[in-house]
Amino acid sequence: MSRAMTWWLSLVPLFFVLGSFASPPSWGSSAIPFSPGFDISAVLSLAISLPSHSWEFGTAAEALLELYDAPYSVYGEKPFPIPRLSPSSSSPVYSTALDYAKQKIVIGTPPNGLSDGDGAVGDPASLGVAALLLGVSDEKYKVAVEAEIEYLLEGAPRWSNEAISHRAAYAELWADFMYMAPPFMAYYGAVTSNATVLRAAVDQCHLYHQVLLTNTTSYSANPPSMHPPSAGGLWVHIVGPENADPGLWSTGNAWAAAGMMRVLATVLKAPRATFKAGSALSSAWRHTAIADLTRMISDILDAAIRLQPQAQAEGYGGGGKRKGASEELPR
C-alpha cells in the first residue's frame, strides 16, 4: 500500500471521471445528510476515479456502501443477516457500491484472490465485504471469499505473536492492514455465524496493537523510534525486516482506528445467537471485546487530539501538504 490515499483529501478536484456512475450526491441528500464542512461530493468523485490498487478499490467500495447503502453497512441498525443487493442498475435493489466493486474485483488465487495485491496479504482482503454481498446472489464471489479467508487464517506468514503478516513473502506488520483485513474477517464471521473467524478478527486487533503500539519514555525520547509519553496510544507505521518505519504516520493511525471501529461495529451488530451460552463466543467474550476495542480506538484518538496543537504549529493539516514529515504526528 502506498500513501496515496491522503492526497485524495487535499487535492483540488480538477475533473471528475465517473464512468458509469451518476454524480455523487452532495450534502443534504439522503446519502449525505450532514455537511462535513468540506465538499464531500468532490472527495467522493476522486475516491471513485483515482484508485488503481486493490486497497484503494476496497476502501472506495466501503465508502460507497456506507454512504449509499448506509443501513446495510456495519454502522446500520441491523446489517445482519446480509441483504440481497444488486450491482445491476436496472434492479430495484441496486447498490452503487456493488456496481463499483464488481467492476474492480478480479477473482484469482489468494493472496490475490479478489484483486492483484502487489505482494500484500491484507490489501485484496479489503474487497471482501463487497465480495460477500455480491456472493449472496453469485456463487463465484462466495467461493473467492472462502479462499481468501482460508488464506488469511492458514496461508499467510505470521509474526512471532501470531499476528497475520501484511506482506505475503515475509512477516511484516503494517498499521494499514487494520483497515483492510480484520473488518472483512469480522464481517465474514458475523455473516456465516463462524465464531472462530469473528474471534480471529478481534484477536488480530490485539496482536497488531501489541507490536505496533509506540514505545514511549519520559527519560530521553529519541525519535523516530522512541517518543515522549504524550504520544502514548499511537501506533507506529511498520514493524518488520524490509520496510520498517517507526514513525507515527497519522494516516496509519487513522487506518488502525477506523479498522477497529468496523470490527467493533461488527461485534456489536453480530447476531446475538453467536454469543449464546454453549457457543464458542460467550456474552462475556463479547463484553470484553467491545471494551478492549473501544479502549484501543480511544487511545489513538485521544493521542491525536492531544498532539494536534503541536501538529498544527509544525504545519500539519495546513492544506496542500501531501505526505512525508508534515504528515507525521510530532514526536
Ligand X SMILES: *[C@@H]1O[C@H](CO)[C@@H](O)[C@H](O)[C@H]1NC(C)=O
Q: Is the peptide bond before 224 cis (omega within 30 degrees of 0)?
A: yes
Which residue lies nearer to ligand X by CB, 51 or 124? 124
Which residue lies nearer to ligand X by CB, 171 or 239? 239
Give the chain's end-to-end CA distance (angstroms, integer). Answer: 24
Which residue lies nearer to ligand X by CB, 72 or 151? 151
Q: Is the peptide bond before 81 cis (omega within 30 degrees of 0)?
A: yes
- Within positions 210 to 269, which residues make up the interface with ligand X, using CB under 6 A? 212, 214-215, 225, 236, 239, 246
- In the complex, least distance from residue 192 CB atom to ligand X, rounded to whole angstroms: 7
- In the complex, least distance from residue 61 CB atom to ligand X, rounded to whole angstroms: 22
Candidates 111-119, 144-152, 247-255, 267-275; binding stretch for ligand X (CB under 6 A): 144-152
Nearest CA-CA partner of 135 in 105, 91, 178: 105
Angstrom distances, CA of residue 208 to CA of 80, 84, 92, 159, 213? 27, 33, 41, 9, 8
- Within positions 174 to 213, which residues make up the interface with ligand X, using CB under 6 A? 194, 196-197, 212
Cα 290 versus chain centre, distance: 18
Number of residues in contact with ligand X under rule CB under 6 A: 14
User: How far apart, in whole angstroms, are the C-alpha atoms of residue 129 and residue 97?
Assistant: 10
Candidates 8-16, 59-67, 118-126, 143-151; binding stretch for ligand X (CB under 6 A): 143-151
Dihedral through CA 292, CA 295, CA 297, CA 301, nearest 10?
-170
What is the length of the chain? 331
Binding mask 107-136 for ligand X (x = CB under 6 A): ------------------------------
Candidates 31-39, 142-150, 266-274, 303-311; binding stretch for ligand X (CB under 6 A): 142-150
- In the complex, least distance from residue 1 CB atom to ligand X, rounded to whole angstroms: 18
Q: Which residue spans within the chain are E strands per DSSP?
A: 173-174, 238-239
Which residue lies nearer to ligand X by CB, 118 or 146? 146
- In the complex, least distance from residue 189 CB atom to ligand X, rounded to whole angstroms: 8
- In the complex, least distance from residue 66 CB atom to ligand X, rounded to whole angstroms: 26
Match 445482519 to its residue by C-alpha cell.
80
User: How far apart, in whole angstroms, are the C-alpha atoms of residue 253 and residue 212?
Assistant: 10
Cα 89 versus chain centre, distance: 27
Which residue lies nearer to ligand X by CB, 196 or 310? 196
**Angular region, 317: left φ>0, alpha ψ -120 to 50, beta rest:** left
- In the complex, least distance from residue 188 CB atom to ligand X, rounded to whole angstroms: 8
Which residue lies nearer to ligand X by CB, 51 or 189? 189
- In the complex, least distance from residue 218 CB atom to ligand X, rounded to whole angstroms: 15
The three-class DSSP label of residue 128 is helix
User: How far apart, in whole angstroms, are the C-alpha atoms of residue 143 and residue 126?
Assistant: 16
Which residue lies nearer to ligand X by CB, 46 or 145? 145
Burial class (CB in 10 A: 0-12, 13-18, 19+), 186: buried
Nearest CA-CA partner of 270 in 290, 296, 256: 290
- Within positions 151 to 170, which residues make up the interface with ligand X, using CB under 6 A? 153
Applying CB under 6 A, does 150 fall inside the site for ligand X?
yes
- In the complex, least distance from residue 146 CB atom to ligand X, rounded to whole angstroms: 6
Binding positions for ligand X, rule: CB under 6 A = 146, 149-150, 153, 194, 196-197, 212, 214-215, 225, 236, 239, 246
